[in-house]
Chains A and B, each alone.
Chain A
Amino acid sequence: MKKQAHSAGGFSLVELLIGTILFTIITGIAFSLLMSAQLRYQGESSVTQAFQQANVALDQIVRDVHSAGYPPANSFAAGIALNNPNLVALPFSWSPGYTNTPPTPCTVGVSCGAVPGDYDLIVETDLGNGVQWIRYSLQGTTLMRGMVLKAPFVDPVGSTTGSLVPYLDNVMNGNSSLPIFTYTFDNTTPPPPSQPSYIREVNITLIVQSAHPDPQTQQYRTITLTGQAVRFNPNQ
């Protein structure tokens, strides 16, 4: 009789207990894996988004520098450029001394002040609607960008300040004391002075922090992008 009852089917209490425990353990492991993957995904998404935004910003800076100095003074008859400086694009603006006639060049890193500097750059180029000042300026942890039409005999720094709008967030170069912009000058014999007009390459380094901390480590993650932009327009 006992044998018949046992063979009639079903699990014993012990079997059910073992099965339940195993199911719970495996399910727990699976869910913890899923949770871990989800957190990893969130963290990576945040980094990827920061990477994408930084990439777009880097690409735009490179494009602007490529066309810096268009149109140059040689595009005009003599005298036109001197009397109408707003028609001509110097490759890069500076301050102070820019409003003099002709502008008094400064030395980058010495007498140029902040522009062009480690965290501030003004490109001059014509994108189709006249020569514009295109300024990139790091303010806190936000890289700002602004565009205004170049005006004659006015200071480019003051003129562009009001046009700056946030362009890239969470830029940590300031905190790291690592310049966004460094400059390489023309390679001629004898070497030219380190003046904005002789900047040939702008080396760009962007340290960007993710918008959200990593859910697992609770630490903000940073990525570093570097780029090199060559000015193709000739010296003036």
Chain B
Amino acid sequence: MVIALFTLMLISVVATALILMAGTETALKGNYKSAMQSFYDAKAGLEEGRGRLWARNPNSIASCLLPGGGAMMPLGQVCYILNPSPGEVVNPQDLSPANPYADNEYLAEWNTTAIPSGASYSTVISNSPIASANIAGPLYKWVRITPRTEFSGNIDVDGINGIDRLNPLFFDGMQQLLSTNGVPVPAASQVLTITALAVTPYGSRRMVQYTVALAGAAAALANVPSALTLDGSGVSFTGPSGGTGGRNGNGNFQIVGNDVNAPPGTQSGIPAIGYTNSSDGPSVSMAATPSGNYLSPAGVPNVGIVSLPPILQTPGGLQTLVNSITQSADLVLSPSPGTAADQNSLPSAMSASNPMIVVVNGDFNLHGTGTGYGLLLVTGTLDYDPDASWNGVILVIGQGTFTSSRRGVGVINGAVLVAQTRDASGNLLANLGYSSFTQTGGGNGIQYSSSWVKATQALMTYQVLSFREIPLATP
């Protein structure tokens, strides 16, 4: 009996030791897993916030950001996306120590003792759980969206007068800019901060933050300078030699800067052809004949020099633009070297009510008789058969070559920009090269349309300007 008890005791000791060891190892791995899960949960919250900022998102949170309307999120406005688990209350506004989801970070960023309330405090519910399928979403608790200031970001953006706390920041596609007196910076979009907190059932907490703004293309498109813009130095333009007047037959080529969407009885618009280097003026003007083919509103030159936002002035800036557009693209085509993609690759769902962003990393043949809608970005050569039409904006950035030698009845409603940023080997140039636009066959040319330009601008999503993790102490 004694022996049996003694043996049993020993076995128990051994078993306990084994269980303890296994438990310790499981706990270690569990902690690590929980920490990683909370990080990616928080990241998922950022992505929901970023996605729902987009005006075309079916669950857009525009009313949360701008409850009173307007074009700019005012300072002091705060929008939360709440994501409570079933039966749970998530109230970031409650800053009591007992609240595990208190948003104390807001106090640090805005140097205040309380989160705004009343009309300045808006909430929406997360749409990440799919209730109909009984699928739970990521375990972030809240996502906060606020305007960004120098103070909230703790960054002296302009390097003068210290940290400003009264004026929101804007982004022009290349840099952040400090507004003055609360007036939005022209050709730039407001910078917003998205902050997300995730807490897992095991208690891991992670807080992460995005700085976002509308993609640089949105800012660049805010002020299209001309119906056809030849960006760079030593640019070349060749148009059809005949076909003045009329727009309904082969050979009736025109580039028209008059805004087709101007209110009835009014006239507005931009130059028909714009170039960026004054030394190109004579050659482009001489090629733009007969003059009746190139029209602009009264007081606006038919062919003239235009100024571009910084992002469109350098190969690096234009490459940044290409990258940001690619991030927002509905379709990216990458034809093999030596081959070209064509209009048959365009999405069938593309329509006037559903314009899209198509990026072609290489050559593209826009042929056929159909119509495309949205933004077309071609980094190689764009060969255009003017039986086809395009409603929106066409960017030929890269090799910077637009060719068209056929006749047709198609038209480009919107605007076109051509810029050479790469050499024949694909290397980024130090300075913009010789962009080239050649349309010798005819077609109905280019008609500036502010509506289509705006529709294209609205396709741009919010891009991430920066990311950081905010260190948290586990309560």
Write the residues of chain A forming the contact surface with B, with a CB cutoff of 8 angstroms.
Answer: 22-23, 26-27, 30-31, 33-34, 37-38, 40-41, 44-45, 48, 51-52, 55, 59, 63, 66-67, 69-80, 83-84, 87, 125-128, 188-190, 232-235
Q: Is the CB of B3 within 8 A of A80?
A: no
B residues 152-184 near A (Cβ < 8 Å) are: 153-159, 171, 174-178
Q: Is the CB of A48 within 8 A of B310?
A: no
Please indicate which of the listed interface residues A38, A66, A77, A126 has the most CB atoms of chain B within 10 Å of its own CB.
A77
Please indicate which of the listed interface residues A40, A80, A126 has the most CB atoms of chain B within 10 Å of its own CB.
A80
B residues 216-255 near A (Cβ < 8 Å) are: none
Question: Given A74-B171, A128-B471 in contact, is the A48-B28 Cβ separation under 8 Å?
Answer: yes
Chain B residues with Cβ below 8 Å from A71 are 153, 155, 466, 468
B residues 12-43 near A (Cβ < 8 Å) are: 13-14, 17-18, 21, 24-25, 28, 32, 35, 39
B361 touches A (CB below 8 Å): yes
The answer, among A48, A77, A79, for a CB contact under 8 Å with B176, is A77
- Bound complex: CA A169 to CA B306 (Å): 63
Cβ distance B332 to chain A, nearest Cβ, rounded Å: 9
Q: Is the CB of A189 within 8 A of B28?
A: no
- Bound complex: CA A230 to CA B123 (Å): 31
The answer, among B464, B467, B469, for a CB contact under 8 Å with A63, is B469
B-side binding surface: helix, strand, loop or mixed?
A: mixed
B334 touches A (CB below 8 Å): yes
The answer, among A30, A74, A77, for a CB contact under 8 Å with B159, is A77
Chain A residues with Cβ below 8 Å from B6 are 26-27, 30
Considering only CB atoms, which chain A residue lies closest to B334 in the complex?
A: A189
B426 touches A (CB below 8 Å): yes
B211 touches A (CB below 8 Å): yes
The answer, among A22, A52, A77, A126, for a CB contact under 8 Å with B468, is A126
Question: Given A48-B24, A76-B176, A78-B310 in contact, is the A67-B469 Cβ separation under 8 Å?
Answer: yes
Please indicate which of the listed interface residues B13, B17, B155, B466 has the most CB atoms of chain A within 10 Å of its own CB.
B466
Chain B residues with Cβ below 8 Å from A69 are 466
The answer, among A38, A76, A235, for a CB contact under 8 Å with B155, is A76
Count contacts between A and B, CB distance < 8 Å: 114
B10 touches A (CB below 8 Å): yes
Chain A residues with Cβ below 8 Å from B156 are 80, 87
- Bound complex: CA A70 to CA B35 (Å): 22
Write the residues of chain B forming the contact surface with A, with a CB cutoff of 8 angstroms.
Answer: 3, 6-7, 10-11, 13-14, 17-18, 21, 24-25, 28, 32, 35, 39, 153-159, 171, 174-178, 211, 310, 323, 334, 361, 426, 463-471
Q: Is the CB of A77 within 8 A of B157?
A: yes
Question: Given A33-B14, A34-B14, A41-B17 in contact, is the A70-B466 Cβ separation under 8 Å?
Answer: yes
Q: Is the CB of B174 within 8 A of A78?
A: yes
Chain A residues with Cβ below 8 Å from B175 are 73-74, 76-78
Considering only CB atoms, which chain B residue lies closest to A51 in the complex?
A: B28
Closest 9 A/B residue pairs (Cβ): A232-B467, A80-B159, A70-B468, A37-B14, A30-B10, A77-B158, A67-B468, A190-B426, A189-B361
Cβ distance A62 to chain B, nearest Cβ, rounded Å: 8
- Bound complex: CA A140 to CA B175 (Å): 43
- Bound complex: CA A31 to CA B7 (Å): 9
- Bound complex: CA A71 to CA B171 (Å): 14
Q: Is the CB of B35 within 8 A of A59?
A: yes
List 16 A-B residue pairs with CB atoms under 8 Å apart, sorted by A's residue number: A26-B3, A40-B17, A41-B21, A52-B28, A55-B28, A55-B32, A63-B469, A69-B466, A71-B153, A71-B466, A75-B157, A78-B175, A87-B155, A126-B468, A127-B471, A189-B334
